Chain A
Amino acid sequence: MRILHTADWQLGIKLAFVAPERAAQLRAKRFETVRRIGQLAYERKVDVVIVAGDVLDDNAVGRDTLQQTVDALATFAPIATILLPGNHDPATPDSALARLQRQPHVTVADTRQPLSINGGVVYPCPLTSRHHYDDPADWLPARVPGEGVRVAVAHGGALDFGEDAQLPNRIDVARILGIGFDYVALGDWHGTFKVNDRAWYSGAPEPTRFKEKEPGNVLIVEIDEPGATPRVDVVPVAHTRWLKHEVAFSEERQVDELRAHLDQLPERGSTLLDLTLSGQLPLTAKANLDTMLDEYSERLVHLRLSADGIHVQPTDQELQTFTAEGFIGEAVADLHVTDNPGSRDALVLLHRLMQEVR
């Protein structure tokens, strides 16, 4: 039995911190990624595609999002596709999954009913509310003789995941495996994560936050027979790149190095960058840095900048420029002594004004 295990598509999500037009592009790219997953499923000849929860970002998504979801899922046909309600799209009366237009190959697994799939059985553990304080998988029955490959699908935190057991939607993976399941397809954790040989988080195919670890993948899972150890292949599918970069300035040349680093980034139109800057820079270099960052904030999908840590240290030459006008030199000294973001910005501003005057 060959499975494409994915989860946490969160279709319809829009990132608030990204500029509106870029955010709209990112939302559209998620549907492209879903189509890419469909293509992969076709190429890898999987028996079933399992989406382990959070197909949609919210039950209140609009018709446009639902239609785009239906259109993207249509590319999966005729591969059986199981959509599990997660905490973002639980099987409540306002369920968005229930509003999806029916397609023969798509099953919304919103009840605790096993689904037979080509020599195996998939046991869905749908969330019927946003937060379950009982184990959503506690209904799963033990293996009966003669059953084929058994796959459990659940959305939530695995008990042996080392996190707080008081959190909702906790899943006792060990118990599931103990009652004769061959694989547990998990969702909710956005990074690809192997709980054990038989239990995996596929991770989200598109990242949503910078702090996520190893997002952007789907899993191709092959289980030869009941009891056999699954073979798991991690396949990247993401369209967007979420990068983090830090620079502690001590020399002016590091500004140029940062520029070179940014220049060599591939696919800047699909890249989001979390840039943390600190250290000391002369006024001129700081002004150059500001100009460069202004430029890259336009060229990247999103530039998250933390630059309050940069201290401006005028060079002797810069100071001489200021002290030529006595009172300006004194004002610079005042600002330098104050040394807070406002006074640092004031120094940069003064530097710019001096440039303009000269």
Chain B
Amino acid sequence: MRLISLRVDYWRGLDRAEVGPLSPSLNLVTGPNRAGKSRLQQAVRFGLLESSKGSAKQKAALQSWHHTDPPHVIITFEADGAEYELRKQFLKNPYTKLGGRGRTWDGQEAEAELRALLRTRPGKREVELVDSGIWPLLWVEQGKANVVPHEHMNEDSRMQLHARLAAEVGAAAVGPIGQSVLALAKAEYERYFTANEGERRELKQAREAVDARQADVAEAHRRHAAIHENAGQVERQRAVLDGMAPRIQELHRRQQEAAAKADHATKARSTLSVAEQQVRLSELERNAARSEAQARVERGIALAAAQKQREAADTQRQQRQSFVEEANRAFTHATAVVTKAEEASATARTALLQTQAVERKKALIRELGEVTKVLGVTSSVAERVRSLTKELGCYGAITEQAVKKLRRADRNAHAREAELKGAAVTVTLKALKDTTINDKAWKKGESSTASLSEPKKIAIADLVVIGIQPGGSDLTGLRDKAKDALQELRDSLTELGVENLAEAEGQLQKRERIAVQLGEAQERFKEMAPTGIEAIVAEQVRLQAESDAVEVPADVPSRRDAESKAESAEFELTQARTARDRAREKAQDARVALVETEGALRSITDRVEVLCKELAAMAPAEKLAGNAQAANRKWEEAVVIKDDAQRAFDDAGGEAAQLEAEQAGKALNGLERTKRKTEIELGQAHGKLQQAQTDTAHESMQDAEGAREQARSYLSRLSRQAEAAKALWTALSARRRALQERLTRPVVHRVGTYLTTLFPGCQLAMTDELEISGLVAGNQLEEFEALSGGEKEQLGLLVRLALADVLRGDGTLPLLLDDSMVNSDSQRIQQMQTLLYRAARKLQIIVFSCHDTLLDKLGADYHQELPPRLRTAVPIITAG
């Protein structure tokens, strides 16, 4: 099919436009914006695809703004070797007329014939993609060139493509039955598996059910086994109890035998105990009798010894009495010697004291003379101190501090005076004639100059009084300060009692000289009388009194004689006293010894008396000896009896019999305890067993096994179905993929011839549904949507050229491209022109473009330039 010419009238503001006769190969329609290029392509689409009837929104928009005449289109085209003319009017008085092959069709017949020629569908209110056959793939509207071509494919175009491709590769495409079987096989597969070949819920649940039932079986088996185990425990415990019975019986027998033996031994033990008690009693009696006889003998011996001691003590007492008397006498003598020596010693000491008094008096007189001399010197120094002190007192106010202050006041007064003088007014008066000034007569030529620092009035005769006010307020201040300074100086002088500073300075020098002299006098006084002059006087008085008190006898021996005699007398006195003390000690020792001997004698006498009394109280010795012998015999008899009893006890088994009985009893009790414990455990195990037997453990186990078998069976069946579905889908999809690869190979090949120019090194990637995935370079796929806008429209155009080439079969098809390279750069547009030129050898290509200069190299066989059209300011809207 190819287009021959096109004419539109009143088409959306395009009053009239005509194109053609078009070339069967490459055509170019150019014009500026709004020239009507897109409207021409729209007219082709509406004319060939849409019914003339109806006024849906899309059709209503075709109404021209400037005319009331309805849109109208005339298209001539060639199809299946015949030429046709199609006329259609839309909206107002719509009609369709188709002429060709010597016939004319009107209305619906014309529409039906047209659809048959173009293989399209009527659609509902408007023709959709699904109804438009292959044409949306070939007619690219403005701005849609970068849309992936399969977006403009419908089932019809796919089918036609598949059919063409199938014919080309010699393989049958997937037909409706194949598609349905595929869909069913896929659904069957997806019933069991996910897209990632994971199992779906039904299979998973079946598998989980098997696991769960297996767990149930394990639990049922465990409960079942627990019952058997319980029964086994009961059986084992019964066996234990059965084994215990003869052992307990044997232990009973042994325990009874041991008990009888122990009983016999106990009795023998009792007899033995009585005999042992008897032995102990008779032994005590024997010992008592022996002790009594022995005591009497011992006391007799003691009495004799005591009497002997008493005689010896009495003899000793008499000796010691004579010793005492002799010692007393010696002491008396020694005492008399001492008294005599004391008297001689006193006399010698008195003589010595007298010699000492004489020497003392001499010393006192000497000391007194020295003190009197010191007193005289000291008194004169004291007088000087007093005199200087008085003199210094006359200069009391003249201190260094006061003179310093005076100096400051003097300096200040001079300073203030100088300031005042500097600020004073010098007034010079000169009498020009005789006159009076301040009532004082002035001769002509007399003059006077005065420096005034105080206000002054000068009255010149009775002519004029001149008031002089020097310095103003500043001078007043200076004047006040000078006055104050002078007054301060005067006050200081008055305070010091001097006329001027020189006098004060002279007085200060004098004062300092006196002060130095006073210091020296005071220092000397302190050295001579550190405790004051009164102390020297007191010492003088004391020495005088002491000297007066010392009496000196008339006849005084020499000091050496006196000392010699005194020492001799003292030695003798000491000797006498020593002798006396010794005699006194000896007498005392003798008295002590006498007292001791007298005490011992009394003690022995008392003991003799006690022993005599005791002996008198005791039985006679013979009787006591007889008692001891009788007690000894009795003890010997008791020992024989005890030995017999010991033998009898030993014969009965002794202490071991009791232990044996105890051991046998404990062994029996132990085994009986074990038996009772086992019986309790048996009871418990039996109880548990009975309780467990109320369950339906066996039935439950079988039910669980049955459920597990059912679950396994179901899983097995399901798995088998799933495997079948998987195997089928795998086989079908693999074969179908292989088929699609074969079918798409011609398209990929066709596009490849174009790609080498625009996308060297790249290959088209196409799915089995003839959908473009993108471009493959090496092993890398770049998806269509990831390409740039220019690349998208270039690749899209190339694919459309290839698909159109497939679809045309042996004929041709019109490819309408409305501004389809708006995103491409000039170089690519140039390359595309070459490719379009090449494609136009087999296809009719009609390029609508506003860039006529860019398409200079296109080499179109037909070129029409549409004139520019201006937009009318106000659309004319006519009712009806």
Do A and B pair up? The answer is yes
Interface check B352, CB cutoff 8 A: no
Q: A335-B727, A349-B188, A357-B184 are in contact. Are A60 and B686 (CB under 8 A)?
A: no
Q: A19-B710, A60-B224 are in contact. Are A327 and B696 (CB under 8 A)?
A: no
Q: Which of B292-300, B318-326, B698-706, B855-863 contacts A (4 or more CB under 8 A)?
A: B698-706
B window 679-710: CB within 8 A of A: 686, 689, 692-699, 701-703, 705-710
Closest to B178 in A: A325
A window 3-41: CB within 8 A of B: 12-20, 23
What are the interface flags for A334-358 relative to B under an 8 Å C-beta threshold, 1 for contact and 0 otherwise?
A: 1100100111011111100110111
Cα(A325)–Cα(B173), bound, Å: 8
Q: A61-B696, A324-B177 are in contact. Are A346 and B227 (CB under 8 A)?
A: no
Interface check A234, CB cutoff 8 A: no
- Check if B731 sits within 8 Å of A342, measured CB to CB: no
- Shortest distance in angstroms between B257's beta carbon and chain A's nearest beta carbon? 37
Interface check A298, CB cutoff 8 A: no
What residues of B have a CB within 8 angstroms of the CB of A57 in the complex?
698
What residues of B have a CB within 8 angstroms of the CB of A332 in the complex?
731
Interface check B866, CB cutoff 8 A: no
Interface SS of B by simple majority? helix
Interface check A93, CB cutoff 8 A: yes
Cα(A80)–Cα(B299), bound, Å: 114
Cα(A350)–Cα(B182), bound, Å: 10
What residues of B have a CB within 8 angstroms of the CB of A14 in the complex?
699, 702-703, 706
- Check if A16 sits within 8 Å of B185, measured CB to CB: no
Q: A20-B707, A325-B172, A327-B738 are in contact. Are A61 and B231 (CB under 8 A)?
A: no
- Shortest distance in angstroms between B94's beta carbon and chain A's nearest beta carbon? 43
What residues of A have a CB within 8 angstroms of the CB of B735 in the complex?
327-328, 330-331, 334
Interface check B726, CB cutoff 8 A: yes
- Check if A326 sits within 8 Å of B739, measured CB to CB: yes
**Total CB contacts across the A-B interface at under 8 A:** 160
Q: A62-B698, A341-B720 are in contact. Are A350 and B232 (CB under 8 A)?
A: no
What residues of A have a CB within 8 angstroms of the CB of B723 in the complex?
341-342, 345-346
- Check if B732 sits within 8 Å of A331, measured CB to CB: yes
A window 44-69: CB within 8 A of B: 57-65
- Shortest distance in angstroms between B717's beta carbon and chain A's nearest beta carbon? 11
Interface check A94, CB cutoff 8 A: yes
Q: A99-B693, A349-B728 are in contact. Are A358 and B177 (CB under 8 A)?
A: yes
Interface check B725, CB cutoff 8 A: yes
Interface check B630, CB cutoff 8 A: no
Q: Counting chain A CB atoms within 10 Å of each CB, which of B172, B238, B732 scores highest? A: B732
Interface check A92, CB cutoff 8 A: yes
Closest to A66 in B: B693
Q: How many residues of B contact A (CB 8 A)?
A: 55
Cα(A19)–Cα(B712), bound, Å: 12
Q: A334-B731, A357-B184 are in contact. Are A93 and B689 (CB under 8 A)?
A: yes
- Check if B181 sits within 8 Å of A94, measured CB to CB: no
Interface check B175, CB cutoff 8 A: yes
Closest to A128 in B: B235
What residues of A have a CB within 8 angstroms of the CB of B697 in the complex?
60, 62
Interface check B426, CB cutoff 8 A: no
Q: A16-B709, A345-B721, A349-B188 are in contact. Are A94 and B693 (CB under 8 A)?
A: yes
- Check if A93 sits within 8 Å of B727, measured CB to CB: no
- Shortest distance in angstroms between B56's beta carbon and chain A's nearest beta carbon? 38
- Check if B696 sits within 8 Å of A338, measured CB to CB: no
Q: A19-B710, A325-B178 are in contact. Are A342 and B720 (CB under 8 A)?
A: yes
- Shortest distance in angstroms between A23's beta carbon and chain B's nearest beta carbon? 6
Cα(A354)–Cα(B185), bound, Å: 10
- Check if A328 sits within 8 Å of B181, measured CB to CB: yes
- Check if B178 sits within 8 Å of A353, measured CB to CB: no
Q: Counting chain A CB atoms within 10 Å of each CB, which of B177, B697, B706, B734 scores highest? A: B706
What residues of B have a CB within 8 angstroms of the CB of A60 in the complex?
224, 227-228, 692-693, 695, 697-698, 701
Q: Counting chain A CB atoms within 10 Å of each CB, which of B177, B180, B724, B725 scores highest? A: B724
- Check if B696 sits within 8 Å of A62, measured CB to CB: yes
A window 79-94: CB within 8 A of B: 92-94
What residues of B have a CB within 8 angstroms of the CB of A356 in the complex?
184
Q: A19-B710, A20-B707, A345-B720 are in contact. Are A357 and B181 (CB under 8 A)?
A: yes
- Shortest distance in angstroms between A217's beta carbon and chain B's nearest beta carbon? 25
Q: A327-B736, A328-B732 are in contact. Are A61 and B699 (CB under 8 A)?
A: yes
What residues of B have a CB within 8 angstroms of the CB of A99 in the complex?
693
What residues of B have a CB within 8 angstroms of the CB of A18 in the complex?
706
Closest to B713 in A: A17
Q: A14-B703, A16-B705, A346-B725 are in contact. Are A327 and B178 (CB under 8 A)?
A: yes
Cα(A342)–Cα(B177), bound, Å: 24
What residues of A have a CB within 8 angstroms of the CB of B696 in the complex?
61-65
Cα(A346)–Cα(B727), bound, Å: 6
Cα(A64)–Cα(B702), bound, Å: 15
- Shortest distance in angstroms between B866's beta carbon and chain A's nearest beta carbon? 51
- Shortest distance in angstroms between B271's beta carbon and chain A's nearest beta carbon? 57
What residues of B have a CB within 8 angstroms of the CB of A331 in the complex?
728, 731-732, 734-735
- Shortest distance in angstroms between B357's beta carbon and chain A's nearest beta carbon? 144
What residues of A have a CB within 8 angstroms of the CB of B699 in the complex?
12, 14, 61-62, 64-65
- Check if B174 sits within 8 Å of A346, measured CB to CB: no
- Check if B181 sits within 8 Å of A353, measured CB to CB: yes
Interface check B500, CB cutoff 8 A: no
Interface check B266, CB cutoff 8 A: no
Closest to A329 in B: B735
- Check if B228 sits within 8 Å of A94, measured CB to CB: yes
Cα(A159)–Cα(B298), bound, Å: 111
Cα(A23)–Cα(B707), bound, Å: 11
Interface check B230, CB cutoff 8 A: yes
Closest to A342 in B: B723
- Check if B172 sits within 8 Å of A326, measured CB to CB: yes
Cα(A330)–Cα(B728), bound, Å: 12
Cα(A350)–Cα(B235), bound, Å: 63
Closest to A348 in B: B724
Cα(A55)–Cα(B710), bound, Å: 27
Closest to B723 in A: A342
- Check if A59 sits within 8 Å of B702, measured CB to CB: no
Q: Quick one: which of B175, B686, B732, B739 contacts A93, CB cutoff 8 A?
A: B686
5 contacting pairs across A/B (C-beta < 8 A): A16-B702, A325-B172, A328-B732, A350-B728, A357-B177
* 15 further contact pairs, Cβ within 8 A, besides A341-B723, A353-B188: A16-B708, A23-B706, A62-B697, A63-B694, A64-B699, A94-B228, A328-B181, A328-B732, A328-B735, A334-B734, A334-B735, A343-B727, A346-B724, A354-B181, A356-B184
